[in-house]
Structures are given as C-alpha cells and as structure tokens.
Amino acid sequence: MPGMGTGLHTNNPVVVSAFHRELIHQGLVVLVILGLVWVAWRISRARQLRLAHSANGGPADPAAVPADPEPTARRLLRVSFGITWIFDGVLQGQSSMPLGMAPEVIKPAAAASPVWVQHLDNAAATIWSYHPIAAPAAAVWIQIGIGLWLLVAPRGTWSRLAGLASVGWGLVVWVFGEAFGGIFAPGLTWLFGAPGAVLLYCAAGALIGLPERSWATERLGQILARIMGSFFIGMAVLQAWPGRGFWQGQPSPQATAGTLTSMLQQMAQTPQPHLLASWVSAFAGFDAAHGWGVNFFVVVALAAIGAAFLSAQPRLVLAGLVAGVALCLADWVLVEDLGFMGGVGTDPNSMIPMALLLVASYLAITRHAITSETTAPIEGSPRRHWRERLRASPSYAFRSVAALGAVGIILVGAAPMAMAATDPHADPILAQAADGAPQATNFPAPTFDLVDQYGRAVTPGSLARKVVIVTGLDDVCVTQCPLIAQYLKAADGLLGADRRRVEFVAIDENPRYIAPEYLEAFDQNEGLEQMSNWLYLTGRSLSQLQQAWRAFGFAVQLLPGGSMDLHSEIAYVIDPSWRVRFVMNTDPGPGTEATQSSFSVAMADTIRKVLALP
C-alpha cells in the first residue's frame, strides 16, 4: 500500500529527536493550560466562598456540603477507562511510534481485511507516514486529554460529554488504526482481541454518555449483561467453527501449526521480560501438544460465561463474572502477551477493558441507587441552576474548570492532527533523516559550457537572475535517478509562482550515453519535458562533460558489463549571483512515497530560503 511506511529504521535518531522535541514543546503548552486551570479554580473558589457567605450570612463550611454520589458501575467505567486512556497516551509517546506505527501496527491490522478496509487504513497510514512527528504527538495529547476529562468530571453534562468524546476518538482509532478490530478478516477470535480493544472503549464511553437517569434501576445492568452474554456465546460458536485452525495444535515439528499455536510462537519472540516470554512460550508448547483440548476448554468457558450473563440473574452473573475475569486475565498474559510489548504497542489490548465491562454490568445490576439530584433536578432557570450547583458542591467549579482544561489538552493534539490530515505533502524531517539537513554554504559556484537536451548551448551567463539547482543524473538509470527526477519535478510544483525565478539543471553522469537524444528520451520517460524551467545538460565531448564533473565534484564510476554507473547524488542550490548557498544530498534512500514527498518539500523550502536572500 503506497505511503504505508518510510523505509527508515524505526529508531532513526533524527526523527526520534524531533518527536521528543515536539512532545516537550506541546507539553509546555499543556503546563500552561494546567496553570490556567489552577488560576481559574482559585478565582472561582473565591467567588464561590463569597456567594456562600452572602447566602448563609457567614463563611461557608465546604466540609459540611455533601458530595454528589455517583453510581458505582458508572464510576468504575469512568475512572478505569480514564486511566486506560492516559496509559494509552503515554504508550503513544514511545520512540518507535513515529516510524513504526504505520508499517508495524496499521498495516498488519488491515493486511487480511477486504480491499475497502485496506483503502481506509491506507489513508490513515499515509497521514501517519507523511507526518511522523505531528501525528503521534497529536495522539499522545488527545488520549491523555480524554482520560483526564473522564477523571475530573464525575457528574453532569461535562461527564457525559467526556464519554461521548471517548466514543468519537475511539471510533477513529478502531476504524483507521485497528481496521475495525479485524472483524472483516478471516480468523476472527475472542482470544486475539475481537472485536478490538478500542471498540470496548467506545462501549464504555457510550455508557458514560447516557443520561444519568438511565442508572436509576438495574435495567441498564440487565441489558448490558445480556449484551455481554450474547457476545460471549457468539464468540464460543466462532471459536468452535471447524476449519479455522483452532482445534489444531502442532503434533510434530513437521506439521503445520494451528492458528493459536502460530500466534503464540510469534508473540513469544516479541521483545519483553524473559519471565513473560517463558510463560508465553510454555503455553505455546502446551497448545502445540494439546490443541484440541485447549480449544475445547475455551469454547466451553466462553459459552458458560455467556449463558451466565445472558440470564441477567445476579448470582449467575456473579459466577460468570468470576470465570470471565479469570479467563480474560489468563488470555491477556498468555495469548495477548499484555498487548503493549515490543515498542509499538498502543494499548493493553482487549482483555482488560473486557473484564471492566463485565464487572460494570454486574455492579449496574446490584448497585443502582443514585442521588435525588438526578431524579429531582433543581427547578429554575439555567442561571439559577448553576448558582444552586455552585453553592451545593464546593468541587463543582473545579470540575468544570478542570474539564475545560482537559478539552484544551485535547485541542493541543487535535489541531496539529487536523492540519496534518489536510496537508498532502510529507514532513521534510524524513528527508533529513535519510539524507541529512541541507548544508548552508557560501562560495562561488563552478562554471561550465555545456549543451542541453535539445543541443542548445548553456552557460552560467544564460541562467542569470535565477536561483539554480544543479544536480547530476544518469540518463539510462532505471532505479535511483528516476526517483530523483520526480523529487525535482514535485519540488518545482510546490514553488507555485516562484518557479519563474528558478531553474532546475541536471548534468549527465553517464560517460557512455552523452548524446542529447538520450537526455531527451529520459525527459520523456519521466515527464520532465513539461517543466519550462528544466535543463538536462551534456557535453559536446566526453572530456568537456568530465570537466564539468570535476568542477562540481561529481564522482562517476563505470560498472563493468552494464549500461549503468555509480555516480554522486548531490544538488547545489545557487543564488542569482552564482554563489552556492546550500548543498543537498539527493540520495533517494528508501524511495517511498513519503520520502519522495519529503525530499521535494525540503528542496522547495531550501529554494525559498535562497529566494528570500537579499
């Protein structure tokens, strides 16, 4: 899939350093937001005390004001998933995220899915690989912001909005990052995390976003329990379906490993603590020898847990809860391998949120009392309601201000993410990671007397009053030179109206094919003849061409027995006074769409710097 990766090493120091700098800069903005929250809280607190003093005729006693209780099941979901979102945001800050997320997470998630799913995920992967600094940094703050919002807003509209924000971002991640949790791919199984961890975050967010009166009886808990029960029974049927490889282990080293055994063997190779790896490896060996028995146990356990929850009877649900949490924890450790090992894990996978939903459904059945504030709202206008809440709860102002601060933290990430999504050009950091940053210089540019692809004489004098980019290309090369040519062409397109003040010049670097006809053929193959400011130069003789190579420091080495040669990949950016202002490495490196676009952006930016010189 084009644009899926950059081809650069995951821990490229240039990209990692830029990513850390971006996190630090945005972290300073977050600190400012937190500071403003504290100041706003102090101001609102002082106002609150004055209002209470005026209403009561004396100083208020905050400790005497009862706190608003929150339904236990709702509080469990809000706090646990708030912490989980923050944990996921911290995971997004790992050094391998900028260059590892697209090829190691998004691509594998969509590889076995239908083509239309791959197209959707390719869009996300392209954004990520084109913007490897902005995208992961944005994910860090969006997820931390959502988590904080859930934690600081236990009741009311702010709390419900936090749940809905969790649903919105969760769906984005589920669709574009998890490929719909793999539900459209073959081999779907509860053991591997179906239907996707983030979809469970969405379910929790939707429950938090419900009107508070929904928690007034055990009915919501019964509905949730039956949904969980139906899901587990469906997963049991899917697990038992023949021909999917789950009944098979690996009876001999020569036999094909079953689906679960293969997965376990791969997970055991993930970088992780030795103890955990030994557990996963041991279970892989056990499943290889007893595949049928392991799958039988899983099918029976899923069906039994599903039946217990489907009954919606507290005692049966409690039994199913104990079994379900135990099975989730076992699968989390032995199959999902905790879900976040290896440097590109973005969440603890689905078993922890699955267990939390199971617990919440039981609590919603057995503990459903809420305060009279929910069943009997304060009468009066919205203004009056706000004042009553302010006097009734000392923490109300703080929670509202803190929720606004959490929204601000989300925007610290969401704004750059939105800009990245609408920018079709790659970050120049990729070109710097592959070739280094353009080197600023200031020395007289070499002179030459050559002919272009149409046989016309070209000298520095004919290029006066323009910024000139001089590089070298092999006119019969079919690997790197065509990529470099496309870099130049794309850079020209990025210049807009400034392209009239710029000339792109390439000097032939093949000593065998120096006739203008070969240069013209190269132009036609690469679509360069459409560039009005493009010149491809050669010599009237080989010695004249070699003189130009020496002047520019181009090294050309013949390859025996072939038509191609080894040559320098350098570009000089020359100002109108014919002085070299920048030297750029034009090695195409990985040659992906992301690096091609990045190099073009870097070149266009460098040209604009020279155009802006006095």
Taking the C-alpha atoms of residue 337 and residue 153, their distance in angstroms, rounded to an integer, is: 33
Taking the C-alpha atoms of residue 120 and residue 115, their distance in angstroms, rounded to an integer, is: 9
Q: pLDDT of 228-265, one tens digit each?
A: 999 999 999 999 999 888 998 877 776 777 888 888 88
**Rounded mean pLDDT of 293-321?**
96
The confidence score (pLDDT) of residue 389 equals 57
**Structure token digits, residue 480:** 């790197």
For 614, which DSSP code?
-
Where does the pLDDT of residue 372 fall: very low under 50, low under 70, confident under 90, or very high at 90 and above? very low
* Max mean pLDDT range (56-60, 177-181, 452-456): 452-456
Asked whether the predicted pLDDT for residue 65 surpasses 80, the reply is no
How far, in Å, are 127, 431, 434, 551 from residue 481 at the CA level?
Answer: 26, 16, 16, 21
- Say which residues have a Cβ less than 8 Å from residue 51's Cβ, sequence separation at least 6: 387, 390, 391
What count of other Cβ atoms lies within 10 Å of the Cβ of residue 524?
Answer: 12
The confidence score (pLDDT) of residue 309 equals 97
**Rounded mean pLDDT of 316-332?**
97
> Which of 59-63, 105-109, 380-384, 447-451 bottoms out in mean pLDDT, i.e. has the lowest?
380-384
**Rounded mean pLDDT of 435-445?**
95
Of 476, 465, 552, 467, whose CA–CA distance to 507 is shortest?
Answer: 552
Q: How many CA atoms lie within 13 A of 258 on its CB side?
A: 26
Q: pLDDT of 405-422, one tens digit each?
A: 999 999 999 999 999 889
Contact 521, 475 (CB under 8 A): yes
Rg of the chain's alpha carbons, rounded to an integer?
32
The confidence score (pLDDT) of residue 376 equals 38
Q: What is the dihedral of CA 430, 431, 437, 438, to 10 degrees?
A: -150
Q: pLDDT of 141-172, one tens digit each?
A: 999 999 999 999 988 889 999 999 999 999 99
Contact 329, 351 (CB under 8 A): yes
Where does the pLDDT of residue 53 fall: very low under 50, low under 70, confident under 90, or very high at 90 and above? low
Of 25, 33, 27, 28, whose CA–CA distance to 406 is shortest?
Answer: 33
**Rounded mean pLDDT of 41-53?**
68
The dihedral built from the CA positions of residue 510, 516, 517 and 521, taken in this order, carries a sign that is positive
Q: pLDDT of 583-608, one tens digit each?
A: 999 888 777 889 999 999 999 999 99
Of 6, 201, 16, whose CA–CA distance to 107 is shortest?
Answer: 6
Amino acid at 160: R
Contact 268, 277 (CB under 8 A): yes
Where does the pLDDT of residue 382 fall: very low under 50, low under 70, confident under 90, or very high at 90 and above? very low
Asked whether the predicted pLDDT for residue 288 surpasses 70, the reply is yes
Taking the C-alpha atoms of residue 145 and residue 27, their distance in angstroms, rounded to an integer, is: 12
Where does the pLDDT of residue 377 fall: very low under 50, low under 70, confident under 90, or very high at 90 and above? very low
Taking the C-alpha atoms of residue 244 and residue 127, their distance in angstroms, rounded to an integer, is: 34
SS (H, E, C) 386-453: HHHHHHHCCCHHHHHHHHHHHHHHHHHHHHHHHHHHHCCCCCCHHHHHHHCCCEEEEEECCCCCEECC
Taking the C-alpha atoms of residue 485 and residue 434, their distance in angstroms, rounded to an integer, is: 17
Q: Where are the alpha helices (DSSP H) in 347-395?
A: 351-366, 372-375, 382-392
**Rounded mean pLDDT of 61-81?**
75
Where does the pLDDT of residue 478 fall: very low under 50, low under 70, confident under 90, or very high at 90 and above? confident
Q: Strand ranges (DSSP E) for 453-569?
A: 457-458, 467-473, 502-508, 534-537, 556-558, 565-567
Where does the pLDDT of residue 561 fall: very low under 50, low under 70, confident under 90, or very high at 90 and above? low
Asked whether the predicted pLDDT for residue 559 surpasses 70, the reply is no
Angle between helix 291-311 and 314-334 (nearest 10): 150
Of 589, 568, 602, 600, whose CA–CA distance to 488 is shortest?
Answer: 600
**Rounded mean pLDDT of 335-348?**
85
Phi and psi, residue 580, nearest 5°: -75, 120
Taking the C-alpha atoms of residue 203 and residue 84, their distance in angstroms, rounded to an integer, is: 14
Of 565, 584, 394, 582, whose CA–CA distance to 488 is shortest?
Answer: 584
CA angle 379, 382, 388 (to 5 degrees): 60
Contact 10, 136 (CB under 8 A): no
Asked whether the predicted pLDDT for residue 375 surpasses 50, the reply is no
Phi and psi, residue 554, nearest 5°: -80, 125
Amino acid at 283: F
Q: In the CATH scheme, what is the code of domain 429-611?
A: 3.40.30.10
Where does the pLDDT of residue 266 fall: very low under 50, low under 70, confident under 90, or very high at 90 and above? confident
Facing residues of 573 across strands? 469, 582
Residue 438 burial (C-beta neighbours within 10 Å; 0-12, 13-18, 19+): buried
**What pTM does this model have?**
0.87
- The better pLDDT of the pair 383, 503 is held by 503
- Say which residues have a Cβ less than 8 Å from residue 159's Cβ, sequence separation at least 6: 78, 150, 153, 208
Taking the C-alpha atoms of residue 224 and residue 228, their distance in angstroms, rounded to an integer, is: 6
The confidence score (pLDDT) of residue 7 equals 66
Q: pLDDT of 119-135, one tens digit each?
A: 988 999 999 999 999 99
Domain residue ranges of the chain, discontinuous segments joined by +: 1-58+69-213+396-424, 217-369, 429-611
The confidence score (pLDDT) of residue 342 equals 75
Of 296, 354, 291, 293, whose CA–CA distance to 320 is shortest?
Answer: 354
Supply the mean pLDDT for the chain. 88
> Which of 196-200, 284-288, 440-444, 570-574 bottoms out in mean pLDDT, i.e. has the lowest?
284-288
- The better pLDDT of the pair 429, 268 is held by 429
User: What length is written for the chain?
Assistant: 614
3-state SS class at 463: helix
Residue 315 burial (C-beta neighbours within 10 Å; 0-12, 13-18, 19+): exposed
Where does the pLDDT of residue 550 fall: very low under 50, low under 70, confident under 90, or very high at 90 and above? very high
